[in-house]
Structures are given as C-alpha cells and as structure tokens.
Amino acid sequence: MAAEQFQSLRNYLDSQVLGQSEFTESLLIAILADGHLLVEGPPGLAKTRAVNALAKGIEGDFHRVQFTPDLLPADLTGTDIYRPETGEFVFQQGPLFHNVILADEINRAPAKVQSALLEAMAERQITVGRTTYPLPNLFMVLATQNPLEQEGTYPLPEAQLDRFLMQLNIDYPAAATELDILRLNRGEELHGQVAMPTPLRQEDIFNARKEVLEIFMDETVENYLVQLVIASRQAEHYSTDLARWLSYGASPRATIALDRCARAKAWLSGRDFVTPDDIQAVFGHVMRHRIILSYQAEADGVTADQALQLILQEVPTP
C-alpha cells in the first residue's frame, strides 16, 4: 500500500516538474532515508516548484525561507517575546518548527544563520538562550543553491554539507521538454498530466522507512558499498590519478547515507533486496559534496563527478 502511494506521488511530481525524473526520485529517496537534500542549479529550473509540489503531497506543515545576507538566526529558530501583561518571556516558534523546510538560495546567508540551521539538521533540535526545543519527528530541509560563480553566493561549511543526505546538480532541459514546459505554463493540458494524489500521512512515511531499513543487502554488496567510500580516503591504493585528485575523502556518515539511499532506491523499484546498480545509481549524489578535490585537480579542470566515476571504475563490482 505504501509503495503504491509513493508511486502515485512520484507520478504527480514527474507531471509537475518535466524532464527531471532523477530529481523527483531523489526527493522521494530523501524522504524514505530520513535525510536532507541540497539541489544546485541556475535560477529558473523548477527547483522551488518541485519542492512545493512535494510539500503538497505530504501531510504536514510546509514553510519556505528565502535566504538573504541580512537574515538572522532568530528568523529561523524563533525568539523569546516579552509579554507586558504577564511580565514573562514567551518563546515564539520560527519556521524550523515546520515539517518540510524549503531553504531557498541557502548559500546567500551568513555563517551565523548556517550555524543555527546546522544544529536543526544534525540534532533535530534548536537552542535559544539556555533552552533546547525538539523539532517535529518528520523534519526535512530541502535546500536550493545557485552555483558559486554567481553574484552574492558563499560556499557552505564542510560540516554543514556533510549533513545533507544528497546533493543534486540540475541542468537545463532538452528542447522537447522545454516546449512542454512552455505549454504547461500557458495552462494547456499535456498528455500524461496527473492529478494531485491524497497526501501521504506521516504514519505511512514512518512505516515505509521501516520497510526500507528491512530491505536485504548481501554481505558482498555491503562490502562493495564500504569499499567505494574507503576508495575516496585511500585513493593511492586504487589509482595514481585518483590520488592526485583527492585531498580528503568521505566520512562514515557517507557510508550510512549511501546504505540508506541504496535501500530506498531498491524499495522504490519494487525490490526487497539491494543490487550494486542501486548503489551506483545514488553514489554520485551521496558523495559529490563530501569529497574535497586537490589544487592539482582544480588546475586540471577535474570535477568531483569525474573523480567519483573513476572510483566506480576502479573498485571491482561484485
């Protein structure tokens, strides 16, 4: 039953965000794996539209926060408000107390704001003054960012990047897809349009997450998953090019994320076991924001995706 509901939501997302099936699938994987998602791409590629569509398909509160250079931590967490009639301070909750948070253009905000968001993402709680407040059981941060080359953007701290389950890079659509986008924007009915399904209940999401964790993974596949992450740290054992390109590899948090995402990918595919293909399909999204390239790699024009592709080539597939 839960699988059918997720498939209905996926079909709806695909009909709302044309030509971005990998993006919409990753949104569902993030929900199933109980993680946060970072989406990078130029403005105008339906990043915000996709998150809005997802929020409509989930039973829960949704809030969008536009990140700007003048944003303050209290704008996210909330603050203590003085009540003259009682002479007491009362805490007024901020946007982070919603279930789904869209952090739009996250890399335009200063470090203090990122620090407040980091606690929420990592600990599922926020601290204001001397008091710590728990966040809802269903809590997701879906963040968008523009490429760093654009005006007024700042790189996110490595510790915060590591808290994102996956990072997706969105590119421009093909010509045929862009024509459909144009027609959809004019209000025309397109073939394959799907009505919005009944919103997923939070109880159904939690049950689906349990099913995902119970997906079978053979020991050889498990070892393969671990070796892929280890290769990012011990590159010299696999390839001289890889050793020149990588300064720092991924942490054990990446191993956990890769495991959860591969299981979610298998579950969405209707299988009760994980294959190496599931791991390879999510490997780039889980790892690209967790590795640090060397100066040599940057000078040679090597990207994180190229380094990760080399890891997939060098580590034997079971």
Q: Please report whether residue 8 resides in a domain.
A: yes
User: 119 and 11: one domain?
Assistant: yes
Mean pLDDT, rounded, for 222-241: 92
CA gap 114, 156 in Å, rounded: 8
What's the average model confidence in pLDDT over 144-167? 79
Question: Which one is predicted more confidently, 123 or 177?
Answer: 123
In the numeric block, which tokens belong to residue 176?
């045929």
Q: How many domains would you assign to the chain?
A: 2
* Most distant pair of Cα atoms in the chain: their distance: 71
In-domain check, residue 61: yes
**pLDDT at residue 192 is higher than 80:** no
- Residue 79 near residue 128, CB atoms below 8 Å: yes
Is residue 194 a part of any domain in this protein? no
Are residues 131 and 262 located together in one domain of the fold? Answer: no
pLDDT in tens, 26-73: 999 999 999 999 998 877 777 788 888 888 888 888 889 999 888 888
Pairwise CA distance, residues 116 & 73, whole Å: 6
| Domain span at 155 | 2-185
Contact 262, 274 (CB under 8 A): yes
264-285: pLDDT as tens digits: 999 999 999 999 999 999 999 9
Clarify whether residues 114 and 240 are in a common domain. no
The answer to whether residues 249 and 166 belong to one domain is no
Q: Does residue 305 lie in a domain region?
A: yes
Task: Tell me, yes or no, whether 201 lies in a domain.
Answer: no
Residues in contact with 257: Cβ distance below 8 Å, sequence separation at least 6, in sequence order: 33, 35, 165, 166, 286
For β-strands 78-83 and 88-93, DSSP reports them as antiparallel
Q: What average pLDDT does the segment 14-29 reach?
A: 87
The pTM assigned to this predicted structure is: 0.90
Look at residue 121 and tell me whether its pLDDT is greater than 80: yes
Greater confidence, 112 or 147? 112
Helices (H), the chain: 2-16, 21-32, 47-56, 74-77, 111-123, 158-162, 175-185, 202-213, 219-233, 240-245, 252-268, 276-287, 295-299, 304-314
**164, 185, 206: which is the final residue of a domain?**
185
